[in-house]
Amino acid sequence: MIVAAVALLLVAVGLWLGGYRTGRMLEEERSRDLMRRIEGESSLFGDDVPVREAERGLIEVMPSAVVVADIHGMVRYYSPGARQLGVVQGGWLSSREVEDVIMQSAEDGEICQREVDMPINYPAGVRPRAAASGRGLTVGDKLPSDTLHLRIRAGQITETLYAVLIEDVSEQRRFEAMRRDFVTNVSHELKTPAGAISLLAETITDAADDPQMVRYFSGRISKESERLTEMVKRLIDLQKAQSNQALNLSATNVSVLKVVREAVQENAVQAQAKHIDVNISFNGDQVAPTAAEAAALGQRGDATVFLDEEALTTAVKNLVENAVRYSPEHTTIGVGVSVNGAKVAIRVVDQGIGIPADSLDRIFERFYRVDPARSRATGGTGLGLSIVKHCVQECGGTISVWSREGEGSTFTIELPVSTYADSGNGAVSGSGAAAGSGAAAGSGSASGNDASPKPAQAKESGEAKETGDSKESDHADDSAES
């Protein structure tokens, strides 16, 4: 039994390391060498350490799940990771994919490695699902998936037993796919305006004798140049947001309402052109659009956060810009700030076109656009929300979204509060006083949007309960109370 245990340990470690550095020939030689070495040794860990204790300890800290089973699928040993991956159930292998790798190893008489896609068998009532009419999503949570991407290695360790190492490479595969998409999208998005400029320049050359045509095509060139410039600017913003995550050297105490007012002001011209009203509120009470007007009216409420001001301003500005871009004319956008306990929330609510439920888990990806044709018509690059995500993460916060097609969207940023002042008192410490004031105000972590469209807000509260998204349900309930 001890010999078999040591054999399991040595072959498992050999399989794990061999998968990164060597081919099949070296793996076979190592396995034969290990088997020769254990014939005359009782323990490779020393006489003072029990083999079983050392074996289990080492296997459980390995990044791969370990299973020992016979060729019929009866399991003799498995690590905790194997159960988490759902490949073992009731003492038997529950994965046909793992059984196939063992069978292949038995037929070939050598170590077998294979990458497989394994469906996840969720227990009844646990399977993640998206409601057809809308749902919420919080960035940072693992996205629901119906498939695991596994790297499986199996080899024979005794006459009847096989050791299997299983590594979950799902996130790695998803990252690789995103990287390929990013390169493809960058190439396409930069090539399109560059190609258009080239063609328009040729057309102008051919129509040099027609001033009217020259003016028309010159305008087209100017528009494509602006699009190209915006794309490059967004790429630079995205790179800056991503690099700041590691540096985070410019954190200061920042007024949240100051950031919100700046973001609204930067989008004021675009909003006025579409006759869109953008209202700002704090803990459910509408406030003046400028600090000077607020001071004249005696409005002193505010919250302070300790973070990079440029990153937060970029995030809020992009959310307001998106709300204006995708909202019809003569509608209202609400930008609300609220404090609850140690958290401050910034919520942007619009009455725009909304986002389909099946696109919510992708809108923060680079270059992803729900409707590419509409985005090009409105000047969207597909990078805005990706920049928002990275900026918010750099600030130590979270971002969530609720949306329903045809009714609008709600984006909520939550951040740790530094100091907090209600509308009637001075600045106080964030944790204790904010909790009390927040309770008195009756506002939750993502409320404070009385300035936002009332009908859409009420429907949001009801829908959040119907979809069963706990975080969005809390936000919507708080919003209804404020």
Each residue of 164-212: pLDDT tens digit? 999 888 888 877 877 777 677 677 667 777 888 888 888 888 888 888 8
Confidence of residue 251 (pLDDT cuts 50, 70, 90): confident
Domain 174-247 in the same topology as domain 2-168: no
pLDDT at 145: 55
Is residue 143 exposed (0-12), middle (13-18) or buried (19+ Cβ within 10 Å)? Answer: exposed
* Nearest in space to 418 (alpha carbons), one of 304, 309, 313: 304
- C-alpha dihedral, 255 to 260 to 263 to 267, nearest 10°: -150
CA atoms within 13 A on the CB side of 445: 18
> Which CATH topology does 174-247 take?
Helix Hairpins (1.10.287)
List pLDDT tens digits, range 328-361.
Answer: 999 999 999 999 888 999 999 999 888 888 888 7
**Cα torsion angle, 176, 391, 437, 279, sign:** negative
What's the pLDDT score for residue 329? 93
Model pLDDT, residue 390: 82
Which CATH superfamily does the domain covering 249-481 fall into? Histidine kinase-like ATPase, C-terminal domain (3.30.565.10)
Superfamily of domain 2-168: PAS domain (3.30.450.20)
Rounded to an integer, the average pLDDT of 58-73 is 84
Q: Is residue 103 over pLDDT 60? A: yes
Give domain limits for the chain.
Answer: 2-168, 174-247, 249-481
Question: What token pair was written down for 237?
Answer: 């913003």
For 1-23, what is the mean pLDDT?
A: 43
**For residue range 416-473, what is the model confidence (pLDDT) as tens digits?**
988 655 554 444 444 333 333 333 233 333 333 333 343 333 333 333 333 333 333 3
Q: What confidence score (pLDDT) does residue 212 get?
A: 86
